[in-house]
Amino acid sequence: MSNEVSAKLLDWYDRHARRLPWRAPPGRPPMDPYRVWLSEIMLQQTTVAAVAPYYEAFLTRWPTVADLAAAPQEAVLTAWAGLGYYARARNLHRCAQVVAAEHGGRFPDREAELRELPGIGAYTAAAVAAIAFGRRAVVVDGNVERVVARLFRVETPLPKAKGELKALAEGITPERRPGDFAQAMMDLGATVCLPRQPKCLLCPLQDLCRGHGDSVAQELPRRLPKAAKPTRHAVAFWLAGPEGALLLRRRPEKGLLGGMMEVPSTPWRESPWTPEEATAAAPLEAPWRALPGQVRHTFTHFHFAVEVWAATAVEAPDTAPAEGRWVALDRLDGEALPTVMRKIIDHGLKATAVPAPAGTADD
């Protein structure tokens, strides 16, 4: 069945491949490995639509891996802001530096060497080896797992089924055109073999697919029930300083949102903060007031609920408190602010906006 799967899938791909900015047309020489790698890192946990503008912006600013390697980390984090999973941006930058310094600016072409580079795991190494270098590599992401689980009717639940699914994917990966095959599997998973409602009638693998033949496709892959996500709580401190500038600080290099900018806050923990506890954690003594409402955000492993307290630094100090710095409100776009911090800032801006005096509004 393996040859039949790849032949049918490649034939389908030749006619239906998605046109993506980082992709060479079917059967054509591959794109520059830098582009393939950049797109694969950006696409982890993120949609094609969200990635496209970031991909173009990165390439315009840093057309080669050497350009990216020479950029300050701050600039890379700022350009990445909004894409999420910020460890990826730091690793992206480190990886570019290693490729520039230790590999003469050329990505290695084998999976094992690619895996030695920062931020490149099994999936990305296989994807770059197959797509950029035409090496036979087994590329398995969530989309591919779903297609394979259905095609072979794998009843073992994920994550236990991962090894089994990879072995089955290996069995259908061809020697010829492995890069196109990997991208064809991704496209099939993204456009036809959809998680909720697979479009089996449009599928080139329909007559080979056991899940479809046995009418269980939609139920696959099976999954062990997930543990409920906990909620973490924090109080963020909206401190207005000189000429309304906002106090921001940099998060520690290691850990969640490492190296990104933030509105100073209490630590994040699983019980809500009492006013006394939050006051003790504020960046300075001031008449803090709680703004109405709450900011909510969901990370991979927890929900986050944030109260925002506001105050004005009466005698605005020249140097900002709490190891932070003052940022003018019209300069916020130039900061490496992750999405959750943008939500907190939007909340603060709305809640602290001074209402226009009666009769002055534009009609």
CB 344 within 8 A of CB 338: no
If one asks whether residue 211 binds ligand SF4 (CB under 6 A), the answer comes out as yes
Nearer to ligand SF4, 154 or 295 (CB): 154
Nearer to ligand SF4, 89 or 220 (CB): 220
Name 61's Cβ contacts closer than 8 Å, sequence gap at least 6. Answer: 67, 71, 79
Ramachandran area for residue 101 (φ above 0: left; ψ -120 to 50: alpha; else beta)? alpha
Identified binder of ligand SF4 from the candidate list 89, 209, 260, 263, rule CB under 6 A = 209
How far apart CA 335 and CA 315 sit, in angstroms, is: 25
Of the candidates 40, 111, 262, 307, the residue annotated as catalytic is 40
If one asks whether residue 212 binds ligand SF4 (CB under 6 A), the answer comes out as yes
* Touching ligand SF4, residues 167-196 (CB under 6 A): 192-193
In the chain the first and final C-alpha atoms are separated, in Å, by: 70
If one asks whether residue 217 binds ligand SF4 (CB under 6 A), the answer comes out as yes
Nearer to ligand SF4, 43 or 151 (CB): 151
If one asks whether residue 200 binds ligand SF4 (CB under 6 A), the answer comes out as yes
Structure tokens at 141: 């992401």
Number of residues that bind ligand SF4 (CB under 6 A): 15
Residue 111 annotated among the catalytic residues of the structure? no
Identified binder of ligand SF4 from the candidate list 33, 108, 119, 198, rule CB under 6 A = 198
CB of 153 to ligand SF4, least distance (A): 9
Dump strand ranges (E) for the chain.
231-240, 246-250, 261-262, 289-290, 295-298, 303-312, 324-327
If one asks whether residue 248 binds ligand SF4 (CB under 6 A), the answer comes out as no
Using alpha carbons, select from 127, 46, 42, 50 the residue that is nearest to residue 88: 42
* Touching ligand SF4, residues 135-154 (CB under 6 A): 147, 150-151
CB 80 within 8 A of CB 86: yes
The residues carrying an active-site annotation are 40
Which residues contribute to the site for ligand SF4 (CB under 6 A)? 147, 150-151, 192-193, 198-200, 203, 205-206, 209, 211-212, 217
